[in-house]
Amino acid sequence: MDEVKPDRQLKGKTNFISWKREFERAARANDVLEFLTGEEVVPPKPNKDEYFVKVLGTETRRSSRIKKSLSPTTDDEIETDDGQAVVLTTNNTLRWQIDHNEHKNAKEKMKLASRLLDAWISEGIKIEIEDCADAKEAYEFIKKRYAVTNERARDILLNRLHDLKLEHCESVTDYTNQVRQIKADLKTVKYDMTDDMFATALLHGLPPSYRSFKEKYDWIRSTKPDDSPDMDYLFERMHVEEMHQLQIKEERKARDKAKRDTSNSSTINMDHSTRYRLRREDRNHLKCTYPSCGKTGHSEDNCWVKNPEKIPRSLKEKFTNTTNRAVVTNGMGGVAEMNLTDSKDSYIRTDTLDA
């Protein structure tokens, strides 16, 4: 037996019509509806002693005594009496077994009907039927307690149909199924919904995003206003439109995600630069205690003067290139750059001239 969702359980008069139809469908599927309506009953438990044993033994002994007193017995007559006793015993045993199995099976069906009814009603109604002898009595009590007139049932169902919206359902299939269920419930209270009314109800519950779809379908209907609407075509187009709407939502989500990622990336970069700036500002209170340095912004442990090996490689190369280059003026009043390291051998020391 499948689990019943709370919204399908009987809550009172408001959902009795739809509940009764769905519950009886479930009871019919479980082959217990006849036990709830009274068409089938649980027969009394058969008493084994009433079928044979005492009665059969008494009649057999009485018949034997009468026969013995009237005429001498023969072996054939004794065998005949024994055969009749065996036949009677066998028939009564079979009849008892059949009646016993019928009682047992009917009792199990009634228990199943009780469990099914218990699963299809709310907790409050379960309390009301605790004193009922069986499922049939409980079901009769529920029908008398919560049944409504056809007029009130029509009002309830039509209001529910008006309030039913696609946005409140899981999908187009779920939405169309609920509208179908209301249509079937209306039929049980003698209210026939035509296909025109059915189509109008379906279109009424569509959200604003389906506006273009509704306009197109209304135009199609206007071309043949006297013909009954093709419901199969309407169902098909609604499912196609649902896929189109889902695609639009996915594309919108992708665009929004891309915007959020871009915004988050910019925020991260700003935070990184801010943290880097804060780290530099936080070191301003430091002062190097190394005698040859004494500058602020770092400690003695991180001093490059004391520990040249801590100088970053990029700064070393830049410092070396700058040191090895000099700017001199040429004789034309211009500026010439020359590498002092490469040209040191081209200079003549003064002491060599004296030599």
Q: Which of 19-28, 180-189, 295-304, 328-337 has the lowest mean pLDDT?
A: 328-337
Q: Which of 33-47, 65-79, 135-149 has the lowest mean pLDDT?
A: 65-79
Burial classification of residue 235, based on how many CB atoms lie within 10 Å of its CB (0-12 exposed, 13-18 middle, 19 or more buried): middle
Distance CA 310, CA 290 (A): 15
Residue written as tokens 């200079």?
A: 347
CA dist 76 to 66, 72, 81, Å? 16, 12, 9
Distance CA 190, CA 152 (A): 12
Report pTM. 0.54
How long is the chain?
355
What local confidence, expressed as pLDDT, does residue 240 receive? 93
* Residue 55 in this model has a pLDDT that exceeds 60: no
Q: What is the CA radius of gyration of the chain?
A: 50
Distance CA 150, CA 322 (A): 101
* Residue 198 in this model has a pLDDT that exceeds 90: yes
What local confidence, expressed as pLDDT, does residue 347 receive? 37
What local confidence, expressed as pLDDT, does residue 331 receive? 43
Tens of pLDDT along 301-333?
888 788 888 777 777 666 566 555 544 444 444
Q: Would you state the structure tokens that stand for residue 259, as one six-digit string?
A: 């915007």
Residue (of 186, 183, 179) closest to 164 by Cα position: 179
What local confidence, expressed as pLDDT, does residue 11 receive? 92
CA dist 314 to 300, 310, 311, 321, 341, Å? 22, 11, 8, 11, 20
* Residue 286 in this model has a pLDDT that exceeds 70: yes
Spatial contact of 300 and 306, defined as CB atoms under 8 Å apart: yes
Of all residues in the chain, the percent with pLDDT exceeding 70 is: 72
Residue written as tokens 């009603």?
A: 121
What local confidence, expressed as pLDDT, does residue 262 receive? 80
Q: Which residues neighbour 11 within 8 Å (Cβ) at sequence distance 6 or greater?
A: 122, 125
* Residue 10 in this model has a pLDDT that exceeds 70: yes
Of all residues in the chain, the percent with pLDDT exceeding 90 is: 39
Q: What rounded mean pLDDT belongs to the chain?
A: 78
Q: Which of 129-138, 202-211, 299-308, 332-341 has the lowest mean pLDDT?
A: 332-341
* Residue 213 in this model has a pLDDT that exceeds 70: yes
Q: What does the pLDDT average to over 56-61?
A: 48
Q: Which of 158-167, 191-200, 266-275 has the lowest mean pLDDT?
A: 266-275
Q: Would you state the structure tokens that stand for residue 116, as one six-digit string?
A: 């099914």
Q: How confident is the model at residue 348 (pLDDT cuts 50, 70, 90)?
A: very low
Q: What does the pLDDT average to over 138-163?
A: 92
User: At 289, is the secondary structure helix, strand, or coil?
Assistant: coil
Q: Which of 82-91, 322-331, 338-347 has the lowest mean pLDDT?
A: 338-347
Q: How confident is the model at residue 124 (pLDDT cuts 50, 70, 90)?
A: very high
Burial classification of residue 344, based on how many CB atoms lie within 10 Å of its CB (0-12 exposed, 13-18 middle, 19 or more buried): exposed
Q: What does the pLDDT average to over 326-352?
A: 42
What are the boundaries of each domain within the chain?
Answer: 6-146, 150-247, 286-322
Q: How confident is the model at residue 164 (pLDDT cuts 50, 70, 90)?
A: very high
Distance CA 77, CA 90 (A): 20
Backbone angles phi, psi at 328, to 5 degrees: -125, 160
Residue (of 181, 180, 173) closest to 236 by Cα position: 173
pLDDT: is 55 or 302 the higher one? Answer: 302
User: At 196, is the secondary structure helix, strand, or coil?
Assistant: helix
What local confidence, expressed as pLDDT, does residue 321 receive? 60
What local confidence, expressed as pLDDT, does residue 112 receive? 93
